[in-house]
Structure 1
């Protein structure tokens, strides 16, 4: 009798949770004072959510916290720095790095010959840099098998991440500043109204069943927080579409080629339109890094990029 009673209770709990989960799934307009329009919250059936806003998206997971209350937890990057690399036969004894996101905080790069050498840190952008224009790519003399990055965060011990780059010489590095890190939040659902605070609510609408928008939302919600492979053209413009739709892999060039639009030498273009040329795409793979805490470094006076409004 006790076993039957426990089974019934568990079934009722699962049914209640399933009902709660079904209730929250939907589309909510969060509103905004921005002239570009408000943001929207997509709550998906698989425990994922996506918030869209002007200029970007926030992705994460949700779960039932207690009756009518749900916890939304945004995805966050595990590491402040992520490095992706490939071998570029055309630059031989040089090393190229494209810097992404380094304008957000004081951040540094060091190239040293071995792990026992002192760190000589080059600040990526000057202090109070402004009026940015992308991309920011620098070529260094390759005399190292290690690239190191660090950010100076006030009140926090300085941490350096070392990347072993043996066999690679063309890189894209991302810096994810902790200053802009997003945090979990709670929301309450009552009578198909979602309250993120007690004074404002958003009415629930059903999720779209078809169309490019909902396909994009579902695809981005299921992406890994850190991707193992990135696709970029020779001018460091991110290719985000299906690479197999129109491109084929060329072993000689070690690149994906769009046969309809590629012309021999497109990878060497330096004209104004080269950034938008997606006829040849390179594959960059995620490099493995290891963190250390160290105060054994020297900062050079001159930054790599001096960026100021005229």
Structure 2
């Protein structure tokens, strides 16, 4: 009798758990769709993923249920990312590309044996990227830091991440993902308004109502978003953390063996169609993908609180840029090659 009761209990929990999962899956399918306008809103997918979109914003994440609420958890990028490459075109020195640092924030860098410097001067503006810094020696390590106060929460953000260069790389890409309220968790609730479905969001995003669009509207756009989502998660789940960029630090998808050949002498992937497209590459140097370089990701050795104040920072910055008075001293990228025909026009 006891064994029978135990088996019934096990059967109940399995059935109950299965029913709960089915109900959950059904809710995802029922809610799937676009909420909002063509310029601002959120896509809910039937696998528990979402895409928040708006002006200069596109953030994927996961959502789930808690009673009548939807709980959203955006994919939060790492504060800093560092990629490194052995640049065989340089006999000496180091090149460092700073990406994302022009979006604002009090960010700092310290190369081995040097003082702490701001990446950009105070009140920097009129940015002309890419932002490439050149040094005369290879740093054995570098520290990236931030001293900031989040405007939406008042939270102090002061971190320093140390990276070692024990393999002697001489070309780096430093990425700063500025903290923003869009990466904070937020809540939502579904409500009915006559024959319409409305998603009410609350949290750091503010209180916003997004109307669900009809399933037969913008079908082509929905398919494009699904493909975008697919590519995002393929990239996110890629085992090998690398970037493929050209000499001006514009990134591209990984080169395939059908169209590219790896050249060990230059440590580059060279397009098999480079020669026939040379004229196009001359006119579009930033978008040229005929020579690609593979940068590997470096993990920080330590992460901790910044142990300095702004009073300890050098008076000079890595880059200086202003509008108006003093703009003649502003940084401008000079990495694009000038061909003979262009030099003739300048005379």
Correspondence for 1:34? none
**Taking structure 1 as reference, are residues 214 and 159 closer, same or farther at Cα in structure 2, changes over 3 Å only?**
closer
Note the alpha carbon deviations across 1:66-125, whole angstroms, 9 max, x for none: 2x43211001124x2111011101223211111111121111111114xxxxx6112111
Aligned match for 1:261, one of 264, 268, 274: 274
Q: Is 2:322 aligned against 1:308?
A: yes
Q: Is 2:143 aligned against 1:148?
A: yes
Aligned match for 2:290, one of 253, 265, 279: 279
Q: Is 2:165 aligned against 1:165?
A: yes
Correspondence for 1:83? 82
Correspondence for 1:131? 126
**Taking structure 1 as reference, are residues 81 and 184 closer, same or farther at Cα in structure 2, changes over 3 Å only?**
same
1:3 is paired with a residue whose SS is helix
Question: C-alpha distance in 2, partners of 1:186/1:178?
Answer: 19
Q: CA deviation at 1:162?
A: 1.3
Correspondence for 2:336? none
Note the alpha carbon deviations across 1:130-160, whole angstroms, 9 max, x for none: 1212211010111531111111124747432
Aligned match for 1:232, one of 245, 250, 257: 245
Contact 2:117 2:318 in 1 (8 A): yes
Question: C-alpha distance in 2, partners of 1:264/1:193?
Answer: 51
Correspondence for 2:265? 252
Q: Is 2:212 aligned against 1:203?
A: yes
Correspondence for 1:46? 47
By relative contact order (CA 8 Å, sep 6+), the higher-ranking structure is: 1
Q: TM-score, normalised by structure 1?
A: 0.81
Q: Which stretch has the larger CA shift, 190-199 or 103-112? A: 190-199
For structure 1, the residue ranges without an aligned partner over 5 or more in a row are: 32-36, 114-118
Question: C-alpha distance in 1, partners of 2:42/2:275?
Answer: 40
Contact 1:59 1:221 in 2 (8 A): no
For structure 2, the residue ranges without an aligned partner over 5 or more in a row are: 150-154, 202-206, 325-347
Q: Is 2:184 aligned against 1:183?
A: yes
Q: Which stretch has the larger CA shift, 173-182 or 80-89? A: 173-182
Cα RMSD of the aligned pairs, angstroms, is: 3.2
Question: C-alpha distance in 2, partners of 1:136/1:122?
Answer: 15
Q: CA deviation at 1:56?
A: 3.8
Structure richer in helix, relative to its length: 2
Question: C-alpha distance in 2, partners of 1:9/1:180?
Answer: 40
1:7 is paired with a residue whose SS is helix
Q: CA deviation at 1:189?
A: 3.5
Q: TM-score, normalised by structure 2?
A: 0.73
**Taking structure 1 as reference, are residues 9 and 203 closer, same or farther at Cα in structure 2, changes over 3 Å only?**
farther
Question: C-alpha distance in 1, partners of 2:51/2:101?
Answer: 25
Contact 1:107 1:152 in 2 (8 A): yes
Correspondence for 1:18? 22
Length, aligned pairs only: 294
Contact 1:107 1:124 in 2 (8 A): yes
